[in-house]
Amino acid sequence: MARDAEETRRRLLAAAADEFAQRGIAGARVDRIAAAAGANKALIYAYFGNKDQLFDAVFDALVVSTVADVPIDPADLPGYAGRLFDRNQTHPQALRLLLWHSLERGGMAALPPAVVASNADKAAAIAAAQRAGQLPDRYPPEELLLLVIGLSLLGSAELAPTDGPEALARRRDVVTDAVARLVAAGGGTAAGR
């Protein structure tokens, strides 16, 4: 077997992603990660520091990259929701890691700066679209962003299982349609209920 530190590191990270996504930080076992990666446990400490820093590395690689890789289009929020939905299907670990992070670390407030900044950018983009009249301004930008992201992740098979590809496609349609209704013109503001 060829010696390749970068490759070993990659295998450890992938095994850690599986373990953390499935069991969370407290439930994850360092020995199990090393065994799954076919590597020695000591390498985890050599490459990543400790268990918590290993989680951070996994989180950065999977969740932070998701936030960066799915750009928002304020003029087409249903499309954005659909893309987020799809990303969740192809990367089922990401949402679970986000939830573990929220529960075991200090909620969304403890998210990495990159994620916080990205959310602020997205909210700003929504606000600009609202000022330009492309988007109704009945919800504050942060609230609208929360609704759209929340609805997208809601459909994920993790929380509410769908069985079969046609059920999944229907779920996707429901989510994008729901977002479309939220941003449709007409009706009053939230306060005017």
**Distance in Å, CB of 42 to a copy of itself, minimum:** 24
42 binds, among a copy of itself, DNA, none (CB under 5 to 8 A by kind): DNA
Asked whether position 46 contacts DNA by CB under 7 A, the answer is: yes
If DSSP codes are grouped into helix, strand and coil, which group holds residue 55?
A: helix
142-146: long-range contacts, CB 8 A cutoff, minimum separation 24: 143/190, 144/77, 144/182, 144/183, 145/119
**Distance in Å, CB of 5 to a copy of itself, minimum:** 31
**Distance in Å, CB of 193 to a copy of itself, minimum:** 6
Asked whether position 92 contacts DNA by CB under 7 A, the answer is: no
46 binds, among DNA, a copy of itself, none (CB under 5 to 8 A by kind): DNA
Asked whether position 29 contacts DNA by CB under 7 A, the answer is: yes
Please give the residue ranges that form the binding site for a copy of itself (CB under 8 A): 23-27, 96, 99-100, 102-104, 107-109, 138-140, 143, 146-147, 150-151, 154-155, 158-161, 170-171, 173-174, 176-178, 180-182, 184, 187, 189-191, 193
60 binds, among DNA, a copy of itself, none (CB under 5 to 8 A by kind): none
Stretch that binds DNA, among 39-47, 79-87, 170-178, 183-191 (CB under 7 A): 39-47
DSSP state string for 1-21: ----HHHHHHHHHHHHHHHHH
Cβ-based nearer residue to a copy of itself, 14 or 182: 182
**Distance in Å, CB of 82 to DNA, minimum:** 38
Q: For 121, what's the count of Cα atoms within 13 Å in the CB-facing half-sphere?
A: 12
CB–CB of 125/74 below 8 Å? yes
Asked whether position 36 contacts DNA by CB under 7 A, the answer is: no
How far are the Cα atoms of 32, 95, 138, 141, 185 from residue 192, in angstroms, in the given order?
A: 55, 34, 9, 17, 15
CB–CB of 104/26 below 8 Å? yes
How far are the Cα atoms of 62, 89, 181, 183, 192 from residue 129, in angstroms, in the given order?
A: 29, 29, 17, 12, 22
**Distance in Å, CB of 170 to DNA, minimum:** 40
Asked whether position 190 contacts DNA by CB under 7 A, the answer is: no
Q: For 23, what's the count of Cα atoms within 13 Å in the CB-facing half-sphere?
A: 12
